[in-house]
Amino acid sequence: MARSDASRGISAVGAVGDDPAARMAAEVRAGLLTRPLPTLPSKYFYDDRGSALFEDITRTTEYYQTRTEEALLETVADRVIAAAAPRELVELGSGVGRKIRLLLDAMKRRGWLERCLLFDINERMLDQSVARLEGDYPGLVARGVVGDFTEDLSVLGPGGDRLVLFLAGTIGNLHPDEVPAFLASVARQMGPGDGFLVGLDLVKSESRLHAAYNDAAGVTAEFNRNILRVINDRLGADFDPLAFEHVAFYDRKRQWIEMRLRARSASRVRIPAAGLELDYRPGDEIRTEISAKYTRETFAAKLLGTALRVEEFFTDPEKLFALALLERTEETPGR
């Protein structure tokens, strides 16, 4: 445990000698040296500026995901709570902690409101969200955990009466090949009968997807470039973010949106903490995010061997977005 502040109900977890900067330096180094396509882990978008930019994205007309998922949650929250009968909600990648309220309200209506835990990589946002939830839901015990949901989930401890939430389509930001192992790692923190609600952005027309990641106001472009600012701030690098242009396209074969940063001009970039000095030529690209889109079938295929099964699959009338309610079976999560 790197640091914990029990008075605020916030604790931090981490690997690599519990040094987040060393962990980031190692990941950035490995990613930028990857060939043929250098990559950066998309979790590094989310410093305070990046988290605020994500919120701005959710308000653009082109980004249908957030409003669609919120409307769907409003419709199905009571059914989800009745089916899962939780005493504790856990949200992975909780962000501003707004959507969880729809489920807390449904728990309150049943008199089941007891505990909730928000898990996110951005400490300040977590801190604010936990404080707001405690203020708005008297009697609720709210906790926050700062960590990486792909590595640190064991901190959740054993499940039982638990409903885990993974909303926004954030599962799409994991490489599809990594999804079964991730799902199994969540299942390990669930007791038999516990629930897991996963938000999925569905496969749809390329033009709709393209617009959502290329908004006219350029908010997504700013969000994309923010990853370079985060590397500058945390690793002492000297990227000029404006020397890179935002690129986002739909890969129809892989069924994912890919975001890249493309060098507009030649530059030499130093990243002292990662021991790197890199030369970029015009046109060189770095992949910063994938955002995989699913169908009911392609998602179900990821569940094999994970000890999770689909209990319900909800979609909005336009079939833009889905909420899959999974149940932990008695099996042992395999992967």
d(CA 112, CA 88): 9
Which option in ligand AVI, ligand SAH, none does residue 94 bind, with CB closer than 5 to 8 A by kind? ligand SAH
**SS3 per residue for 191-224:** CCCCEEEEEEEECCCHHHHHHHCCCCCCHHHHHH
In whole angstroms, give the CA distance from residue 172 to residue 280.
29
**In the complex, minimum distance from the CB of residue 107 to ligand SAH, in angstroms, rounded to a whole number:** 18
Say whether residue 173 binds ligand AVI (CB under 6 A).
Answer: yes
b/e for 83-96, b at 16 or more Cβ within 10 A? Answer: bbebebbbbbbbbb
Least separation in angstroms between CB 226 and ligand AVI: 11
Nearest-angstrom CA–CA distance, 102 and 163: 13
Residue from the set 213, 244, 280, 294 that interacts with ligand AVI by CB under 6 A: 213
Of 160, 158, 120, 113, give the one whose Cα is nearest residue 137: 113
Write down the least CB distance from residue 56 to ligand SAH, Å: 12
Site string for ligand AVI, 48-67 (x = CB under 6 A): ---------x----------
Q: Cβ-closest residue to ligand AVI?
A: 291
Distances in whole angstroms, Cα of residue 70 to Cα of each of 33, 100, 167, 172, 315 = 39, 10, 10, 18, 12
Q: Which of 20, 172, 180, 195 binds ligand AVI (CB under 6 A)?
A: 172
**Min dist. Cβ of residue 65 to ligand AVI (A):** 6
Any idea which residue has 């707001």 for tokens? Answer: 132
Through-space distance between the first and last CA atoms of the chain, rounded to whole angstroms: 25
Is the CB of 137 or the CB of 284 nearer to ligand SAH? 137
Minimum CB distance to ligand AVI smaller for 189 or for 291: 291
Distance CA 266, CA 281 (A): 4
Among ligand SAH, ligand AVI, none, partner that 150 touches (CB below 5 to 8 angstroms by kind): ligand SAH
Task: Report the residue number, 93 or 159, with the smaller CB distance to ligand SAH.
Answer: 93
Nearest 5°: phi and psi at 251?
-95, 105
Contact of residue 289 among ligand AVI, ligand SAH, none (CB under 5-8 Å per partner type): ligand AVI
| Ramachandran quadrant class, 319 (left: phi over 0; alpha: psi -120 to 50; beta: rest) | left
- As measured in angstroms, the least distance from the Cβ of 174 to ligand AVI is 10
Q: Which two tokens stand for residue 249?
A: 């396209």
Q: How many whole angstroms separate alpha carbon 171 and alpha carbon 198?
A: 8
Among residues 121, 145, 153, 168, which is the contact residue for ligand AVI, using CB under 6 A? 168
* Residue whose CB is less far from ligand AVI, 184 or 259: 259
H or E element, residue 322: strand 321-328
Asked if 148 interacts with ligand AVI (CB under 6 A), we say no
**Binds 148: which of ligand AVI, ligand SAH, none (CB < 5-8 Å by kind):** ligand SAH
Q: Which residues bind ligand SAH (CB under 6 A)?
A: 43, 46, 51, 54, 66, 93-95, 99, 120-122, 148-150, 167-168, 170
Residues lying near ligand AVI in the complex (CB under 6 A) are found at: 57, 168-170, 172-173, 213, 220, 223, 289, 291
